[in-house]
Amino acid sequence: MNGTATWLERSVSRLRPGRKSPAQGEGDRADAAASPPRSTRERLDATLRQKDEALSPRALRRTLAELKAVIDPSVSEVEGGRRAKVLQGWYEAASPEERRDLWLLMSEIFVADPGKAKAAQAQFAAALGTPDEAVAEVNYRRATVSPRRRLLQRFSVYPEGIPFLVGMRAEMQSNLKTDKRLRALDVEMEYMFSTWFDVGFLDLRRISWDSPASLVEKLIKYEAVHDIQSWADVRNRLDSDRRCYGFFHPRLPGEPLIFVEVALVDAMADSIPPLLDELAAAADLDRATTAIFYSISNTQSGLRGVSFGDSLIKRVVETLKDEFPKLKTFATLSPIPGFRTWLGKNMATHLAHFDDRQRAELARAVGVETPAPADLLAAVDKPLGLAPASPLRHLLLTAAARYLGSEMTDGKPADPVARFHLGNGARVERLNWAGDPSAKGLRQSYGLMVNYLYDLKRLDKHRALLAQGKVPISGDIENLLPRKKS
């Protein structure tokens, strides 16, 4: 081991949690309490620590030196990776506050040289339309690449590095809203992960009852749509008439990055309880014509922003078609998690679309001459008791159709699940009353569920419609939308 490496390990050991600067006395702490929070650069230039600062200025400078040593151009990539691994050891023993100081250093200090970037941008602008344009563009791109990216790459040299970085980013997520200084590091990591976790590097695997117990346990841990209640529940979801597939990365071999649960049935499902019924007999696969995607769960919050769902569904459809040539319909049975909250804010707007006759029917159903939005919301609060012909039931269905069929936020569907499936080329096919009568289903969407249809011949057409701000919907959904007044 060379002298530099020994110095690195010795220095890092001095940064272990619990070490405090002996120069910091009680008077210093009192003065620090009255000072405003300092920027990372101010702390690096300081002598004493202020209140609520995890690392002292000296320790912060030493940590910065350790980070710079990782990307020292005079050392090999292997040695840089070894130094990064030493820092990982420090990080794992550090307190949350000390870890946050490391994030701030990586985010704020390891930035592209602004002078070089500005000069390269000017040269690129001057070269536009000339033979030198391509070279100027390359130089500009290189000038804007931050050393932060090379730092992250050095962590990826050793096998545990990528899982470590994914875990680090997951830990950062709760801090992003309160500290915008971390945004640069977060975006850099998202960019790097989008490359490292490109679907070309992922392996699609079926997860079955015969899979290792540790992998089956991951399904229980990460299931985000319909909680798994027992081992019998798991076995039902992995039965002969079911399929479960996940994407895996070579550096996280035992961790599915995303998984999808599929039921093979003879018609489009309209309710989740039969699919989750542990005592139900397995369906006859010879009669299966429809694949229902009833749960899709991302497992790694550190990979937020890295999209797997589109490719996962495509690969699963291809796999299922090869195994079951009779399958003709590919659809989801999906929750509508944002519906109740949206209706609580938009009941008055939705009611404005009703004519006098419909308003009168609602008034009779509520027992109020002129029901206010609060009256209607109270009346639909227990939807399972509403009769099929109830105008209140019609109110909820039309509101859900409007929410899914026309409500957009920043040019994208307002509902997060709709945003996912419609972005993949599906269309809103059918609303299902009491599709999820569980407490969670009632809390999210008054028990309503929706089928999104994946028409394999029209996926690109549906994406094009969505790009124009038009949500692809079926005739059934269109009939529920309020008619525009002439």
Amino acid code (one letter) for 436: D
Q: How far apart are CA 232 and CA 229, in angstroms?
A: 8
Coil, strand or helix at 267:
coil
Structure tokens at 440: 């969670």
For the record, the structure tokens of 324 come out as 């079951």
Q: How far apart are the first and last CA of the chain?
A: 82
Question: Please, are residues 374 and 397 in contact by the beta-carbon 8 Å criterion?
Answer: no
Q: Is the dihedral of CA 300, 303, 304, 306 positive or negative?
A: negative
Query: What single-letter amino acid sits at 125?
Result: A
Task: Please name the residue that has the structure tokens 């790009």.
Answer: 467
CA distances, 44 to each of 9, 15, 414 (Å): 21, 15, 44
Contact between residue 452 and residue 422 where contact means Cβ atoms under 8 Å apart: yes
Residue 462: active-site member: no
Alpha-carbon gap, residue 479 to 474, rounded angstroms: 9
Name residue, tokens 């094009």: 464
CB atoms within 10 A of CB 294: 23
Q: Is 394 a catalytic residue?
A: no
- Residue 375 and residue 368 in contact, taking contact as beta carbons nearer than 8 Å: yes
What 3-state class would DSSP assign to 51? coil
Length of the chain: 486
Catalytic residue selected from 350, 421, 445, 462: 421
Residue 411 CB coordination number (10 Å): 9
Q: What sign has the CA pseudo-torsion 445, 448, 449, 455?
A: negative
Cα–Cα distance for residue pair 426/458, rounded to 1 Å: 8
Catalytic residue chosen out of the listed positions 56, 146, 334, 445 = 334
Q: Are 247 and 271 in contact (CB under 8 A)?
A: no
Amino acid identity of residue 259, one-letter, is F
Q: Say if residues 99 and 132 touch (Cβ distance below 8 Å).
A: no
* Six token digits for residue 156: 């990826």
3-state SS assignment for residue 449: strand
The residues annotated with a catalytic role in the active site are 334, 421
